[in-house]
Amino acid sequence: MAEKLTLGVAARLSTYLRILTQSRKQGLESISSQEISDYANVNPTQVRRDLSTFGKFGKRGVGYKIDSLISEIQAILHTGGEHAIALVGAGNLGSAIATSAMFKDHGFHIAAVFDNDPRRIGGQLQELVVEPASTITSRCRELGAVLGVIATPPGSAQEVADQLAEGGVKILFNYTETLLNVPDEVIVHTINPAEEMLYALYFYLT
């Protein structure tokens, strides 16, 4: 597996990893390609082909061992390093993100949370204390944060993106509707549920 995965394969492996992790939490020990297929909205032949390319073959009537498949996919995707996340915005959305178990399950942890509202600064969000937004750049450098999550009002998003990029953050998850301008080495992923809905509606209602 020295070659770089294609975009499609990496996306599907991330989806399978999410499903396997969920299944394990629900107490399952094995899973069939048909079940993975149902949960992933990917056809079962594709699932078997993806998994067989790195030597994993499900047993007929038993399926795949969840634990070993998780380890395998984690190794391929190079996960498992503890990636530090800087979260900006401690409002409803930021709180929802900070309290989600989804990050921890995949070796991500929120290392710091920032806000510019004096009523929130110094307050507690899970085990973290909300820090002032003015310290984003210096704190990200200190923490070696590679991922930044922007969960602020749209009007603050560009300024926050600048501070995160200045602090060495390489991947921004933008939950606002603001189009962000960032240096070439920084990648922005915009999370907009409406975009996914448009796409889903096109496929299932037309």
Q: Which two tokens stand for residue 128?
A: 């973290």
One-letter-per-residue 3-state SS of 112-136: EEEECCCCCCCCEECCEECEEHHHH
CA–CA distances in Å: residue 135 to residues 36, 121, 141, 143 = 43, 12, 10, 12
Residues 132-151 binding a copy of itself (CB under 8 A) are: 146-147, 149
Helix or strand (DSSP H, E) at 42: none
Q: Which is nearer to a copy of itself, 79 or 137 (CB)?
A: 79
Number of residues this chain uses to bind a copy of itself (CB under 8 A): 63
Does the protein bind a copy of itself through residue 11 (CB under 8 A)?
yes
All residues at 6 or more sequence positions from 196 whose CB lies less than 8 Å from its CB, including other chains: none
Chain positions 84 to 123 lying near a copy of itself, rule: CB under 8 A, are: 91-93, 95-97, 99-103, 105-106, 108
- The minimum distance between CB 133 and a copy of itself, in angstroms, equals 19
6 sits near a copy of itself (criterion: CB under 8 A): no
DSSP state of 58: P
Name the residue among 4, 175, 185, 186 with its Cα closest to residue 87. Answer: 175
Nearer to a copy of itself, 10 or 62 (CB): 10
Q: Which of 3, 26, 60, 127 binds a copy of itself (CB under 8 A)?
A: 26
Q: Which residues bind a copy of itself (CB under 8 A)?
A: 4-5, 7, 10-11, 14-15, 17-19, 22-23, 25-26, 39, 41, 77-79, 83, 91-93, 95-97, 99-103, 105-106, 108, 146-147, 149, 170-171, 173, 177-179, 187-206
